[in-house]
């Protein structure tokens, strides 16, 4: 028997460029959208890895590359030790059994003409499992119960459910085949704040119960902290910082991470005034990204070197990797994020980010969301 690898997924120099073409009869490529542009990271077995960044920075494209819904332009993805980046489409069925996605929009990702029972049973139909009608129905109703849906609603249609319940249907379908990897792409962004915590707690519970490895994608750093063990921050197709959740939130090194965190409301017990590093300007186009450091057009610390030499991602102390010539200092972090000192004390006292989302130490979650999260289970 071979030993289990520590990493379920290993990504190396992955790129996805979407061609931009011109012409009506003869199409000529005149450029490319560099949606993902040379990223490397691992997803450890059983962990939750967060992927954050502003809209358009390449998160969804990365997710689709991981499960081979998209073919990469170059680079490799090893899934459980096997290179899936060059596999032919016909051989992907076994991968799709082991790696599943939950999508952002629970309205458009469910077929309105199908009953919930047949939507959740789709993976069984595709993979030829539980062929007997009674057996399949029983299995689907077990899944419905597991995700907090009433199994008696088996014959109802998606429009008869609320947004949160529809997302539970999407989750039930995604876990039907008991995958090893679940990728949740902005799973709560389309939901009311009051419902978000319930769906997040559901994902965490399922991860615990099923030993899932989770990739959790969000543009909202406050949500990511309480879901994730480690976090990768993306900017314009690149990973600019990768660190444990606690390290990233208490001592971000990349100015982009600092600016994102600066926008998250934090109650500061000392009443200190914070120097907000607000992000100005739009994200540049990934078809024509800035030279060298892609963040230099918006970075408060940019210098000449940043415009001429690309910073490589490298260790910046502890377990933090960042791609920056002039990373944030402790002083700058405490000016921009004064409320972090208490969070840092939490971290050093052994606070684990794997606690449930209702944890009272959720100091950086948006205040409204925090106040609506109950201590009860998500049902």
* 287, 29 contact by CB (below 8 A): no
Q: For 312-365, give the DSSP string.
A: PPEE-STT-EE--SSPPPHHHHHHH-TTHHHHHHHHHTT--TTS-TT-TT-TTS
How far, in Å, are 48, 159, 276, 292 from residue 215 at the CA level?
Answer: 6, 28, 29, 29
- Least distance from C-beta 313 to ligand SF4, angstroms? 11
Q: State the nearest-atom distance from the C-beta of 22 to ligand SF4, in Å.
A: 32
Residue 58 binding partner per list Mg ion, ligand SF4, ligand ADP, none, with a CB distance cut-off of 5 to 8 Å that depends on partner kind: ligand ADP
List binders of ligand SF4 among 310-369 (CB under 6 A).
Answer: 311, 324-326
d(CA 348, CA 324) in angstroms, rounded, equals: 26
Q: Is 183 in the site for ligand ADP (CB under 6 A)?
A: no
CB distance 183 to 170 below 8 Å:
no
Site residue total, ligand SF4 (CB under 6 A):
13
Q: What would the x/- binding string for ligand SF4 be over residues 278 to 307, using CB under 6 A?
A: ---------------x-xx--x-xx---x-
- Of 57 and 343, nearer to ligand ADP (C-beta) is 57
| Candidate residues 55, 74, 108, 308; the one interacting with ligand ADP per rule CB under 6 A | 55
Q: Residue 241: which H helix or E strand, with range?
A: strand 238-244
Task: Yes or no: say if 277 and 328 are a contact pair by the CB < 8 Å rule.
Answer: no
User: Residue 92 and residue 69: Cα distance in Å, rounded?
Assistant: 9
Between 103 and 251, name the residue whose CB sits nearer to Mg ion: 103
Q: Which stretch binds ligand ADP (CB under 6 A): 58-66, 94-102, 147-155, 220-228?
A: 58-66
Asked if 35 touches ligand ADP (CB under 6 A), the answer is yes
Shortest approach of ligand SF4 to residue 217 CB, angstroms?
A: 22
- Closest CB 61 distance from ligand ADP, rounded Å: 3
DSSP characters for 159-184?
GGS-HHHHHHHHHHHHHTT--SEEEE
Distance of alpha carbon 313 from alpha carbon 74, whole angstroms: 19
Pairing of strands 213-218, 48-52: parallel
Choose one: 53-61, 124-132, 150-158, 160-168; the region binding ligand ADP (CB under 6 A).
Answer: 53-61
- According to CB under 6 A, which residues from 248 to 287 bind ligand ADP? 286
Contact between 100 and ligand ADP per CB under 6 A: no
Which stretch, 50-58, 95-103, 142-150, 289-297, contacts ligand ADP (CB under 6 A)?
A: 50-58
Question: Residue 57 binds which one of ligand ADP, Mg ion, ligand SF4, none, with CB within 5 to 8 A depending on kind?
Answer: ligand ADP
Please state, in angstroms and rounded to a whole number, the distance separating the CA atoms of residues 96 and 181.
Answer: 10
Nearer to ligand SF4, 175 or 240 (CB): 240
Sign, CA dihedral 190-193-195-201, equals: positive
The binding track of 231-270 with respect to ligand SF4, each residue x by CB under 6 A or -, is -----------------------xx---------------
Partner residues linked to 238 by β-bridges:
235
Decide which of ligand ADP, Mg ion, ligand SF4, none touches 325; Cβ closer than 5 to 8 Å per partner kind. Answer: ligand SF4
Partner from ligand SF4, ligand ADP, Mg ion, none contacting 299, C-beta within 5 to 8 A by type: ligand SF4
339, β-bridge pairs: none
Nearest distance in Å: CB 222, ligand SF4: 22
Within 315-344, the residues that bind ligand ADP by CB under 6 A are: none
Instruction: Give the closest residue to 8 by CA, choosing from 37, 49, 39, 36.
Output: 49
Orientation angle between helical segments 163-175 and 193-210, nearest 10 degrees = 20
Which residues are at the interface with ligand SF4 (CB under 6 A)? 254-255, 293, 295-296, 299, 301-302, 306, 311, 324-326
């Amino acid at each position: 028997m071979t030993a289990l690898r520590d990493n379920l997924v290993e990504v190396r120099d992955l790129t996805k460029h979407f061609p931009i073409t011109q012409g009506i009869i003869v199409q000529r490529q005149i450029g490319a959208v560099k949606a993902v542009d040379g990223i490397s990271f691992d997803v450890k077995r059983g962990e939750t890895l967060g992927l954050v960044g502003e809209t358009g920075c390449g998160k969804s494209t990365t997710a689709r590359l991981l499960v081979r819904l998209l073919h990469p332009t170059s680079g490799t993805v090893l899934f459980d030790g096997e290179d899936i980046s060059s596999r032919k489409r016909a051989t992907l069925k076994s991968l799709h059994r082991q790696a599943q996605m939950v999508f952002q929009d629970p309205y458009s990702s469910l077929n309105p003409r199908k009953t919930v029972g047949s939507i959740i049973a789709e993976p069984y139909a595709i993979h030829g499992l539980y062929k007997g009608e009674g057996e399949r129905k029983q299995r689907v109703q077990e899944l419905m119960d597991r995700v907090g849906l009433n199994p008696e609603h088996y014959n109802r249609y998606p429009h008869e459910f609320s947004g949160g319940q529809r997302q539970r249907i999407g989750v039930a379908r995604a876990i039907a085949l008991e995958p090893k990897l679940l990728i949740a792409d902005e799973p709560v962004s389309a939901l009311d704040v009051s419902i978000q915590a319930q769906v997040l707690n559901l994902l965490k519970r399922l991860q615990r119960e099923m030993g899932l490895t989770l990739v959790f994608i969000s543009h909202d750093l406050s949500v990511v902290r309480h879901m994730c063990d480690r976090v990768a921050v993306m900017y314009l197709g690149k990973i600019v910082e990768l660190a444990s959740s606690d390290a990233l939130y208490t001592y971000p090194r990349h100015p982009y991470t600092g600016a994102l965190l600066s926008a998250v409301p934090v109650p500061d017990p000392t009443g200190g005034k914070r120097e907000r590093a607000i992000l100005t300007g739009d994200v540049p186009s990934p078809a024509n990204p800035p030279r060298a450091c892609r963040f230099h057009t918006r970075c408060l610390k940019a210098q000449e070197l940043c415009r001429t030499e690309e910073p490589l991602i490298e260790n910046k102390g502890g377990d933090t990797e960042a791609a920056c010539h002039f990373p944030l200092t402790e002083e700058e972090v405490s000016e921009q994020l004064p409320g972090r000192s208490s969070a840092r004390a939490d971290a050093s006292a052994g606070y684990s980010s794997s606690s449930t989302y209702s944890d009272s130490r959720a100091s950086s979650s948006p205040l409204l969301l925090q106040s609506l999260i109950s201590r009860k289970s998500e049902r």
